[in-house]
Amino acid sequence: MSQSGNGSIIGVMDTGIWPESASFKDEGMENAPPRWKGICQQGEKFNSSHCNRKIIGARWYVKGYEAEFGKMNTSDGVEYLSPRDASGHGTHTSSTAAGAPVQNASFMGLAQGVARGGAPFAWLAVYKVCWATGGCSSADILAAFDDAIFDGVDVLSVSLGSPPPLDTYIDDVLSIGSYHAVTKGISVVCSAGNSGPYSQSVINTAPWVITVAASTIDRAFPTVITLGNNQTFVGQAFYTGEDMNEFHPIVNGQDIAADDSDEDRAKSCVSGTLNATLARGKVVLCFATRSQSSAIVATSAVLDVQGAGVIFAQFPTKDVTLTWGIPCVQIDFAIGTSLLTYMDMTRNPIVKFSPTETAVGQQISPEVAFFSSRGPSSLSPSVLKLMYLSVWLQPDIAAPGVNILASWSPAYSPFQSDMTQKHLPPLDFSIDSGTSMSCPHISGIVALLKAIHRTWSPAAIKSALVSTASLKDEYGQCTVAEGAPHKQADPFDYGGGHVDPNKAIAPGLIYDMGSSDYFHFLCSMGYNHTTISSMTRSSRRCNKSANFLVNLNLPSITIPELKNNLTVSRKVTNVGPANSIYTAFVEAPAGTEVIVKPSILRFNSTTRNLKFKVIFCSTLRVQGRYSFGNLFWLDGFHVVRIPLTVRTVIDNFYAQT
């Protein structure tokens, strides 16, 4: 992808941008294209000089916020009534999507190297719709969508969303705004949410958007814990200080519960549950529970009672939490139990930490992140009664979203409220995790594809990403999803799989759609004409088809209710060599037989589009669980794969016995 996104404009809807960051230098950038209609909106500590040939547009939105939440209050923290970013989130996502290369970037010396965005030569347009004071207004988000469409962006990166319960597509502001953008040819990329590993937690699943799950990378931050008996264990942390290089007493949070506190809550170090006298100057061992699984909460609680450090035992995960004030080392429950054994057998147990190191290539990746939201979508069951529903119930694609180093706003520091850290300089780069971080990875890749394939629709680009995604880790093993416990990943975890940008350039075949498909999708969902017209701003009448939903031309086939047999139609477009022959190969979901007709597709210079049918036959006579498979089209060079997701249900069981 030698063009590096040159020619594409990425719009980022977030908390703004810190324009002075080295990631937004415009060296080597061309001027904004003539088609660009955006502006550089001025405001507090932001004027037209802060835009350049990298940041070609910036807007900010506060009217909706103030109408919904009241007058903007900046007295409790730093904020700017302008496109300037006070929280760091928007700067992080913008630089991840399109940041210029920055040499020797690091977070306090950790993860040092070259930091660059996915499309370093793409232009950036910033739409500040969220605020460091908290909250994003629906009206402001819709206004930003309207402006971005008018301005002429090619891609919209939207690391936003609300956790379940979900609004319907016609009520959800991101679904509405993205619908209008996609019908204008703009690809919209959204976060899948951070409510994993629980089922039915995925968000932003409208079929016209690209929904991104988070995966891990091969970079780790090992931190050695040494006990008084010289036994060592390795956890992970962002600890670069020296205050824990000497031995400190270690205590179990459960054993130092305040007089009026529940020992179980003290076990996980809930705020206010620890005895200050017994915790002062000591390292506190805390165990995550269902009700308290946050290392940040535990660290804050220990800091309040003047503890020296925290060891936080939790479900195994590669996501390292950035804590402040005192060091916090994250370990798994097995190591936590070993520490308890040492403490029980030792009269005066002590512990020390070694400074964190950066290790690359020393852990298996990618894996689906623990926090990444999972399918099936909680929105879809409400409409299952309508008919067979074959819509996308899971994320579309997975991309790196764990421990991502990117530019940050020096106006915000996690250490700013901690008196012991006042000597630290402002952060120009920080490490963060979430589907907010995986979303701009895909946004950058979409910009690369747009630069190469200017005529491809958003659906074509989505198809290219999904149908070429990888199901394997770097060792060729099936990708694992972090959880409790870990398991083999499936489409509910990562959609089509982990993104493979190089293969997405030349996918061979694509499953394409246009604005009329999305309109008829809404019609088939059962919404009335008035409601659909209000959302789409179209006077077009619905022409309902009983089979439209199941035949929506997505790069997936999902059947939540397979009773006996069901036939699904799809259409593929050849974007590879004109004279191509593809043969079908099926890995059938458990409990089903799958037949593809025709099983061979022949393309030539005049035949670029071909339809086929997939016939699903249930072999089960009882209620089943979701099972997964794949449909491949193979031409000897391209591997075009889409996931199959099926759940069998009972259909008049006694009549069959």
The residues that are catalytic are 14, 89, 436
Going by C-alpha positions, the residue among 46, 161, 96, 14 that lies closest to residue 430 is 96
| 74-81 own/partner pairs: CB under 8 Å, 24+ apart | 74/133, 76/133, 77/132, 77/133, 78/132, 78/411, 78/412, 79/131, 79/132, 79/133, 80/16, 80/43, 80/44, 80/45, 80/46, 80/411, 81/43, 81/44
The one-letter amino acid code at 55 reads I
Cα separation, 255 vs 263, whole angstroms:
7
CB count within 10 Å of CB 163 equals: 12
Closest CA to 216 of 438, 368, 380: 368
Q: Which residue has the tokens 């088939």?
A: 524
What angle in degrees, to the nearest 10, is found between the helix axes of 173-183 and 515-524? Answer: 150
Burial (CB < 10 A; 0-12, 13-18, 19+), residue 69, is middle
SS3 labels along 626-641: EEEEEEEEECCCCEEE
Beta strands in 272-408 (DSSP E): 283-287, 309-314, 328-332, 350-353, 359-360, 397-400, 404-407
Evaluate the CA torsion angle 381, 383, 385, 391 in order and state its sign.
Answer: negative
Residue from 444, 555, 570 nearest 497 by CA = 555
Cis peptide before 376 (omega within 30 of 0): yes
DSSP state of 381: G
- Closest listed residue to residue 592, CA positions, set 570, 546, 632, 559: 559
Other CB atoms closer than 10 Å to residue 447's CB: what's the count? 34
Amino acid at 220: A
Q: Which two tokens stand for residue 556?
A: 């997936």
423's tokens: 């000597």
**C-beta separation of 246 from 352 below 8 A:** yes
Residue 437 has which token pair? 């971080």
The DSSP code sequence of 114-128 is: EE--SSTTSEEEEEE
* Kind of pairing between the strands at 283-287 and 55-60: unpaired
276 Cβ partners below 8 Å, 6+ apart? 258, 304, 305, 306
Instruction: Check: CB of residue 558 under 8 Å from CB of residue 390.
Output: yes
